[in-house]
Chain A
């Protein structure tokens, strides 16, 4: 059973550097989501892809953040000119194509996350 995978699991970087994270969703899941979770908080939605199209972006996603899903499979999240406030766990989730009756298509399956520390 292959779940959602994320790489790297941990990243320590200095302020001002660029970082890129990768997410591999469950195969055949056409929907992919990025969330950010800071200490003591629940995850907050960042962005959503349906296949290769980025259909929604949160206001949390500043101009320094960019996400791609070029072939509708894996996705990358890049943060440019990192700031200490970017330190968080970045979570990726995927969900399958909706069925006529909805149901399990509304379940999101999460990866283990990438913990970013900006020093």
Chain B
């Protein structure tokens, strides 16, 4: 079955430090991959996506992610974290073997930013 694993439940990063959030997926075909961010009590905002082509994708708010097929990973990175980045981050796989785009999400990583 298709699945997404985010091994880190919580991560604390100092403001200005770099960030990497891990995501591994299990899916038989080439996936569509997404990172979403969710602030407390809010819906999800799309940060970036990978469909095909260049495996390093740029997103909003200075985030980037790299697709590594050999590792089944799609890790999210940011070179310098801001206090406003504190939120929950979800990695998702889009299942293209269905007739539509069903998203399977990981359990999320909560990012805490220390001063």
Q: How far is the CB of B87 from chain A (nearest CB, A)?
A: 14
Does A91 reach chain B (CB closer than 8 Å)?
yes
Q: Are A115 and B32 in contact, with the CB atoms below 8 A?
A: no
Instruction: Identify the B interface with A (CB < 8 A).
Output: 4, 32, 34, 36, 41-46, 49, 51, 90, 92, 94, 98-108
Instruction: Identify the A interface with B (CB < 8 A).
Output: 4, 6, 31, 33, 35, 40-45, 48, 50, 55-56, 91, 93, 95, 102-103, 105-113, 115
Q: Are B100 and A55 in contact, with the CB atoms below 8 A?
A: yes
Q: Are B100 and A4 in contact, with the CB atoms below 8 A?
A: no
Complex CA distance for A7 and B75, rounded to whole angstroms: 34
Q: How far is the CB of A50 from chain B (nearest CB, A)?
A: 7
Interface of B is mostly: strand
Q: Are A4 and B107 in contact, with the CB atoms below 8 A?
A: no
By beta carbon, the residue of chain A nearest B90 is A42
Complex CA distance for A6 and B101, rounded to whole angstroms: 21
A–B complex contacts, Cβ < 8 Å, 9 sampled: A40-B107, A40-B108, A42-B90, A42-B107, A43-B90, A44-B105, A102-B51, A107-B46, A111-B43
Complex CA distance for A2 and B104, rounded to whole angstroms: 26
By beta carbon, the residue of chain B nearest A112 is B43
Complex CA distance for A95 and B49, rounded to whole angstroms: 14
| 3 closest residue pairs by CB, A with B | A42-B105, A110-B43, A110-B44
Q: How far is the CB of B13 from chain A (nearest CB, A)?
A: 20
Complex CA distance for A111 and B38, rounded to whole angstroms: 11
**Apart from A31-B101, A110-B45, what are 12 other A-B pairs with CB-CB below 8 Å?**
A31-B100, A42-B4, A42-B105, A42-B107, A44-B105, A56-B98, A93-B44, A95-B101, A108-B103, A109-B46, A112-B43, A113-B43
Complex CA distance for A5 and B43, rounded to whole angstroms: 10
Q: Are A41 and B107 in contact, with the CB atoms below 8 A?
A: yes
Most A C-beta atoms less than 10 A away, residue of B4, B34, B102: B102
Contact (A42, B92) CB under 8 Å given A95-B101, A108-B101, A113-B43: yes
For B51, the chain A residues whose CB sits under 8 A away are: 102-103, 106
For B102, the chain A residues whose CB sits under 8 A away are: 33, 45, 48, 56
Contact (A113, B42) CB under 8 Å given A31-B100, A56-B98, A107-B49: yes
